[in-house]
Amino acid sequence: MILMWSSSRIGRRVASAFVCGRQQLHRQPQYQPQLHHQQHNLRYSSTADGAVAAPLRCTKKKSDRAPSKHLVDEKTVRAFGGRGGDGRVSFMKLFGNENAGPDGGDGGNGGHVVFRAAENVTGLGHVSVELRAPPGERGYNKDCHGKCAGHEYVDVPVGTVVKDGAGRVVGDLSRPGVMFVAARGGAGGHGNRYFATDTEQTPEVAELGGAGEVLRYTLELSSIADFGLLGFPNAGKSTLLRAITRARPKVAPYPFTTLQPHLGVVRYGDQESVAVADLPGLIEDSHRDRGLGVSFLRHVQRCTALLLVVDLSAPEPWTYVDVLRHEVRCFSATVLDRPQLIVANKVDVDGARDNLAELRRRLPDDEIVEISAKHGVNLERLLKHMKRVYDQRRISAEADAAAADLD
């Protein structure tokens, strides 16, 4: 009986599955240490300064269909609160009593326009210029009130600052889930049932719904990225952002190809993500509104740390560092207190090595990383330096927050 069952089709399948399971059971201890070793090499790499999380290389191909979108970090909007529903003029009619009294219901309240801080939003490009909340429903007969309208929630990035028309800060959405009511909806109007009294039992009057608020606001991001690429036009900022992230800013051999900031994300083996912003090119006297002017310098103010990108193929590249710092200092002296890293780009060009040696000699106190964004030279070292600065900044911020809680 057992011999007949094992020779059948079902018996052969069960025996084959049993044999394969035993083979996998014997092979599993051999492959497990090797897999653990591969994951360890992927996540961390040892450097002279200690263990630093290694950047993860994205193997997914970049999209070439949709045009790249720049980061919108400031927008002026108008918020319209929903109008309240109108009250109803109605009289009840019953069997045997045609004048049973007023039964007009009240209208529903209009909706509010509410800004809500969300972690899954990075910019303000999705926010419409006009934000309208739905109106309330009108009242009905038989004392039925209209439905109140729902609120219009607009998700904005965490750290968004809300300013009114006069430029005063009226809201700071610094934590996830914090909400700010931008425009309140109007109240619903009363129906004629509300106006019935002992002396006026059949009122033929009802209220119109109240109009909602109409206010103007300016939304600004207090921080757009962890690192901002600061440099002169054609220094290679957009090429660098393309090389280290999946962002696709425009690259061309003429100046001012980047007119709006572009944002990219670098992911590391310790599950941390670092945002890098490609800022428009800066020229001399930008603080006097030359070039892109003060609008560009506002982007610099919203970056936690600065990467000063210098073109080594240019004559005397160390002078560009002085000009960059001077322009930022004239706009806001506090920005220069943030961490800085000099990125010497185009090291593959003839004569760049000599300029690099002179740059190190003239700026001995600054940390300089030489790279070639076009050919991918020394990019891993740059990313590890960025991760080290990011970790130090995060640790100091956590310590300051803990000290503030104790106070």
Model confidence at 1: pLDDT above 50: no
Report how far Cα 385 is from the mean position of its chain's Cα atoms: 23
| Interval 208-218 mean pLDDT | 93
Share of the chain above pLDDT 90, in %: 21
The amino acid occupying position 12 is R
**What percent of the chain stands above pLDDT 70?**
82
Rounded mean pLDDT of 179-186? 94
Per-residue model confidence as pLDDT tens digits over 6-30 = 445 555 554 454 445 444 434 444 4
The Cα 84–Cα 86 span in angstroms is 7
d(CA 197, CA 183): 35
Confidence (pLDDT) at 16: 54
* Contact status, residue 139 vs residue 86, Cβ threshold 8 Å: yes
For the cut 80, the answer to whether the pLDDT of residue 273 exceeds it is yes
Strand partners, 131: 79
* Whole-number pLDDT of residue 257: 72
What is this structure's pTM? 0.67
Counting Cβ atoms within 10 Å, is residue 240 exposed (0-12), middle (13-18) or buried (19+)?
buried
Nearest-angstrom CA–CA distance, 133 and 257:
38
The more confidently predicted of residues 407 and 240 is 240
Q: How confident is the model at residue 84, as a pLDDT? A: 94
pLDDT attached to residue 12:
53
Segment 76-105 mean pLDDT: 87
Res 24: pLDDT: 47
pLDDT in tens, 316-370: 888 888 888 888 888 777 888 888 899 999 988 888 888 888 888 998 888 889 9
Q: Which two tokens stand for residue 287?
A: 């603080």
| pLDDT category of residue 115 using cuts at 50, 70 and 90 | very high
Q: Is pLDDT at 112 greater than 80 in this prediction?
A: yes
Tens-place pLDDT, residues 118-131: 988 888 888 999 99
Q: Is residue 63 over pLDDT 80?
A: no
Residue 137's pLDDT is: 93
Predicted confidence at residue 32, as pLDDT, reads 38
Q: Which residue has the higher pLDDT, 109 or 255?
A: 109
CA pair distance 355, 357, nearest whole angstrom = 5
- Sorted by sequence, the CB contacts under 8 Å of residue 161 that are 6+ apart come out as 169, 171, 172, 173, 219, 220, 221, 222
